[in-house]
Amino acid sequence: MKAITSLDQMVQHLCDTGIQKRIAVAVAEDDNTLGALLEAHKRGFANPILIGDKARIETVLNEENANPSDFQIVDIPDHQEAVGEAVRMVRADEADVLMKGLIGTDKFLKAVLDKEKGLLPAGNVMSYVCAVELPKYHKLLFVSDTAVLPYPNLDQKVAMVKYTVEMTKRFGIDDPKVALIGASEKVNKAFPYSLDYEKILEMDKAGQLPACTIDGPLDVFLACDKESVKIKGIPTPINGEADAMIFPSLESANSFYKGLMLFGGGELAGLIQGTIKPVVVMSRSESQKSKFYCVALSCLMA
């Protein structure tokens, strides 16, 4: 498989391979969510199951010039009951993906994390990985964790690496270059995350990580700019060609990717990882295009 280097190539790959996945959407009542799903359905890789207030769902579908009878609609007006049913369908293998609609993230994740009825197996780490497309970078850049883990410990960082590598390989990247991001390239006790990075590199040498090329700590320049590598004269197998970046905290990762979106003209597709099946969690204010790419990514990973 040739490596996918843009989000539109990801969509085209889904269309070409004939992949189609069932997506259970909790509280599917907003135009951005339904617009994204309608486009994915039109392209042939998503089969939405719309759960929520049937009258509101039908109203939005009609506004989007879609025929409500073309879709499976489950009439559950209560938000908590709607997300509970969506999670149940995924657990019962009646759906391949869970997606958040017009419901608060806290209520949505409460159902996902329910110890008896949720989607996170005991002992698993829940994390978030996104694929970012940037006008000034020649390929996709995978970033973690932008949304779930505030200050990941060593075990959580290892899970972040594993989930990120797994995602890159679905994009046809056989030997992803993973940069462990920090403020400098030196291990320093003043930066505890760098001590974790040192242990992660030891684990990689011992064959305890999935196949990848990994190095750190590295700053963003050493990770993604060949010229900076030459100027600094610091040898690294990443060599300014990172496919993926692991950040030491949610604050740093979240600020990094939002800056890219706002000032760098970036687009992204992201997913929760660690659950038994993909979970799409987007802000209610996210654009329809971003939600469409997230739907596509979920179908690729399901």
| Residues pairing with 142 in the sheet | 131, 244
The fold adopted by the segment(s) 14-122+275-301 is Rossmann fold (3.40.50)
Buried b (16+ CB within 10 A) or exposed e, 91-100: eeeebbbbbb
DSSP for residue 70: G
Answer for the pair 174, 165: CB distance below 8 angstroms, yes or no. no
Beta strand pairing call for 141-144 and 127-133: antiparallel
Q: Which residues, at least 6 apart from 174, have a Cβ–Cβ distance to it below 8 Å? A: 211
Domain regions of the chain by residue span: 14-122+275-301, 127-267
Q: What are the pLDDT tens digits along the chain (302 aa)?
A: 899 999 999 999 999 999 999 999 999 999 999 999 999 999 999 999 999 999 999 999 999 999 999 999 999 999 999 999 999 999 999 999 999 999 999 999 999 999 999 999 999 999 999 999 999 999 999 999 999 999 999 999 999 999 999 999 999 999 999 999 999 899 999 999 999 999 999 999 999 999 999 999 999 999 999 999 999 999 999 999 999 999 999 999 999 999 998 899 999 999 999 999 999 998 766 778 889 999 999 999 99
| 3-state SS, residue 243 | coil
Strand order in the sheet with 177-181: 72-75, 46-52, 21-26, 97-100, 279-280, 267-273, 127-133, 141-144, 244-246, 177-181, 213-218
Alpha carbon distance 204, 128 (integer Å): 21
Domain 14-122+275-301 and domain 127-267, same fold? Reply is no
Rounded Cα–Cα distance for residues 131 and 126 (Å) = 17
Specify whether domain 127-267 bears CATH 3.90.420.10: no
- 3-class SS of residue 154: helix
